[in-house]
Chains A and B, each alone.
Chain A
């Protein structure tokens, strides 16, 4: 187990380095520079480049970046908010994005699991209808449509919730973004949960358990749930990353001061260091979540835990 995790960690570090290198090279290929201001004279641009070390060879820049990163220094923003350390930008913006992301994840996953499993277990018409309606809407309709819908009814007509993010009511302000984002999560999770549970319920081991006369509750808890949760967890994990990195559209619509907005502005203004830092953090998050997922698999599935032969 430890050996397995060690191996996975090593692979993760190498992957991150490769990602970083690719990001660096890609940005070199991009036209323009952070100092695309017409008011700046070529001398001033050269001076700025020297100041930030952008006149050095790419390889040197790359290694200096890694060394500084290990010290916890992600560099400063060049143009967006000049000379502000990126870590500071992130500290201000990440919590709100993570808060909304995690909350939509929890709300979406929980409601999705309940909807999917109940529909699979009880196959009645009403449940099936609700399931069909919700999953279809959740998958077919983009989250910003829900956002507009909620804004109109809950924000404007009923006036229960603030239309735009308000620092004075941080909890209430996140309710609508969370609702809009969790709807899609719910439908994806519900579909997976229902499909998996239905498959497991047709499996030989569940039929065998029924032949042994095990009561329904035992069959569902010990046979169906555990075996159908595993594939669902994979989906949850990959959704989690995209939620943690924030939804650009939703953050814009509710003017949430999260990282989603930061990334779009950084790309707009060629703010290399911010783009690299954010992209790198996204990749790292993804890799960490996948690593955690694999460890979770080990805990749930004995076939992985014991280095199974299957």
Chain B
């Protein structure tokens, strides 16, 4: 994890609206981030904050009523730089999708074709990018299935999706995503639809594969536990914007945005037996209306008068850490994070140290 790694994906000033019969919905209101080789970037936030739309933009699979108002998605190859948004979708399908960037969907129950065998789906995917004959593609499929931990690949090849469990299906989806050796994988909540017991195994599988293959990952989730475990960088999204961005340590140990405070406070803790689970009051704003000031202001107990008038810029906290909140302005009164959260972070740091000591 360092800035010396080669850039692979750069998203610049992305701004997307959806045309609806009742008016436009401004779903993405300026998203910037970059992903470097071998790194994991987590995008976190509530439902509807634009995480998945960002992923779909990178893959070029936005619904028809989406309009990209501005922005760039730059793919950095070994020695090329391509703005994907400037390319036709057929070009992207042929040259980028699958072979350079792949995506794992949220629900393995719906992301496989119900009328095709697992084998046929794997082979179709392999042969769409590599000119290999059926036998080669078949043995490659077996290899891929072993890589994702399927014990009886020959049998599974002949099966249909409905004959497999959710966890197995997600492994197959991962195998298909890996089939054309992508450099980047976007995981859109890959474990949300699975049993809790399976979730961990899938996360571990993804983490092992990522390390073994040196793949860069954009991991979309609202599970902060998973983020802490696998991410190098974290982007906290709210109402179509990244409101805080930093390394995983910045976000978990030194959060600055009141929304991030809220998210971290809302994580259930096993050791916490006192009181109710915290939840951020209110609901995300209606993106069909124009937002004045900070989108989070109405739910923010620390909101300043300026928050309702002007949108906060991204303030630098450190070289790698940014947050869009007026609290970081020099003129702002000093506001500390809630005490309960501070205690919690101290506990996390303690546990983190113990964890590191144990593993050493």
Contact = CB atoms under 8 A, between A and B. Distances in A.
Interface of A: 123, 202-205, 207-216, 218, 222-223, 226-227, 300-303, 306, 308-310
Interface in B195-252: none
A216 B90 contact: yes
B5 interface: no
B38 interface: no
Contacts of B124: 214, 218, 222
Interface in B78-124: 90, 92-99, 102-103, 105, 107, 110-117, 120, 124
Nearest to B93: A213
B41 interface: no
Contact of B125 (A202, A203, A212): A212
B163 A214 contact: no
Given A204-B107, A214-B98, 20 more contacts: A205-B114, A207-B56, A207-B105, A208-B105, A208-B176, A211-B59, A211-B61, A211-B103, A213-B128, A214-B128, A222-B113, A222-B116, A227-B113, A227-B114, A227-B115, A301-B115, A302-B117, A302-B162, A303-B162, A306-B162
B163 A208 contact: no
Given A205-B110, A211-B59, A213-B128, A308 B163 contact: yes
B59 A210 contact: yes
B177 A212 contact: yes
Contact of A212 (B90, B97, B110, B120): B97
23 contacts: A204-B105, A204-B107, A205-B111, A207-B111, A208-B103, A208-B173, A208-B176, A210-B59, A210-B61, A211-B59, A211-B98, A212-B102, A212-B125, A212-B177, A214-B124, A222-B116, A222-B120, A227-B113, A301-B115, A302-B114, A308-B160, A308-B163, A309-B163
Nearest to A210: B61
Interface residues of B, number: 40
B102 to A, nearest CB: 6
Interface of B: 56, 59-61, 63-64, 90, 92-99, 102-103, 105, 107, 110-117, 120, 124-125, 128-129, 160, 162-163, 173, 176-177, 179-180
Given A214-B124, A302-B114, A207 B162 contact: no
B87 to A, nearest CB: 13
Contacts of A216: 90, 93
Contacts, number: 99
Given A213-B99, A214-B125, A215-B93, A204 B110 contact: yes
B99 A205 contact: no
A213 B115 contact: no
Nearest to A203: B110
A205 B113 contact: yes
A212 B114 contact: no
A226 B64 CA distance: 23
A211 to B, nearest CB: 4
Among A204, A223, A226, the most chain B Cβ lie within 10 Å of the Cβ of: A204
Contacts of A222: 113, 116, 120, 124
Contacts of B114: 205, 227, 301-303
Contacts of A301: 114-115
6 closest Cβ pairs, A-B complex: A213-B98, A213-B97, A212-B98, A204-B110, A302-B160, A211-B103
A205 to B, nearest CB: 5
A216 B102 CA distance: 17
B273 to A, nearest CB: 40
B144 to A, nearest CB: 13
Nearest to A206: B113
Given A205-B111, A205-B112, A212 B179 contact: yes
A306 B103 contact: no
Contacts of A300: 115
A308 B128 contact: no
A279 B128 CA distance: 54
A262 B170 CA distance: 60
A302 to B, nearest CB: 4
Given A207-B105, A208-B112, A226-B115, A306 B160 contact: yes
Contact of B180 (A202, A204, A212, A218): A212
A211 B112 contact: no
Nearest to B95: A213
A226 to B, nearest CB: 5
A202 B110 CA distance: 11
A273 B120 CA distance: 55
Contacts of B120: 222
Nearest to A207: B61
Contacts of A226: 115-116
Contacts of A306: 160, 162-163
A309 B162 contact: yes
Contacts of B63: 202
A37 B110 CA distance: 67
B97 A215 contact: no
B180 A213 contact: yes
Nearest to B97: A213
B107 to A, nearest CB: 6
A209 B173 CA distance: 10
A218 B59 CA distance: 18
A308 B162 contact: yes
